[in-house]
Each structure stands twice: as C-alpha cells, then as structure tokens.
Amino acid sequence: MEQQILGFFEASDFLEHEVLRPLSHIRPGWELFVDPTTDRYKDEEGTFAWLFNHLITRISKSTPPDKYHDSEDRLAEHVQTSLNWKISKHRGIWRNASGHRLTPNDYLVTLEQGGFKIDGIEDLIAAASGRVHAALQYGQRHFDDMERGHQVILAGVLAAILYHWDPIEPEIRKLEV
C-alpha cells in the first residue's frame, strides 16, 4: 500500500497547483522539481518540497481511520465550540448559521482553523490519509484521477497541514535525523 500512496502523489502540475500554489504567499517556489535519482521532490530553498515529501511519507506509513469524516468532524467541532462559529452538522453535512451547506472553501477554512487545536494536525493527517485510501479503493490511482469535489477537499487539507508545519519545519527536520 505504501508504494501505491507514493504513486498517488507522483509529480503532477495539477497537484502542485492545487496544493502548493495557494501557499505561494508563504513560500514563492510552488513549482517543484523531481529529483531523478530519488523520484521525490527536490528540496530547494523557498519551496515546500521537503515538507511535502515528509507529508507524503507520513500518509504512506499511516493507517487510515475507519471514517475519515470523524477526524474532520473533530476539527469542525473545535471551531464550533472554541471559536464560537455558528456552524452545525445536520444529517452528516456541516451547515452555516442560515442552514446552508458550507461551501468547499468554508469547509476548508473550518478544517484549517480546527488544525490549531491540540492534536489538530494529527486529525488533518488522518483526514488526508483516509481520503487518499478511499480514492485508491475507488480505483483513483493518482491525485489527478480523483473526483473533482474530493480532490478539492484533499488538496485543501494537504495545504492546511503544510501551512501549520511551515513555522516548525526546522524542528520537524531535526526529528527526522
């Protein structure tokens, strides 16, 4: 399964555009290069390459939750209670104060903000892992093959993780040594 997940994240302009370009205000180098000797993204200054490789490895070695929506629900519940956002879940769908389904952007902002809770990043990683494993179960072997709605949410979750990891990259690197 680990190799399948690594393959899921093989180089793709679309993957970089969806996950890394939204973070270009933090690190301008959102277009990555693949190192032909390792088949991984080349660690270059001003990019998220090292963190993205680290994230892909974490996902490839993780056991997905039985229900990845549970991880996402914990993040949304944190935002609901701790930040007093007027959102609620009805029949499995998160809704805003007026009862309308959260737009994909609003849902992603909710998950990103939920990532600030203790263990929030772990919930984000579990959600990403669950979404990747679900895609593979449905025969979607690469990010580019995903159904568009799920692709948007996965890209946003991955970007949220990288956003949270950005300020602590030096500490994460030390743990990898």
The model's pTM: 0.95
Residue type at position 171: E
Residue 156 · residue 164 · CB < 8 Å? no
Instruction: Average the pLDDT over each of 23-27, 30-34, 129-133 and give the range with the smallest value.
Output: 30-34
Q: Do the Cβ atoms of 42 and 49 come closer than 8 Å?
A: yes
* φ, ψ at 77 (rounded to 5°): -65, -35
The predicted-structure confidence for 27-40, as pLDDT tens digits, reads as follows 999 999 999 888 89
- For residue 1, the model assigns a pLDDT of 83
CA distance 19 to 150: 13
Length of the chain: 177
pLDDT tier at 13, thresholds 50, 70, 90: confident
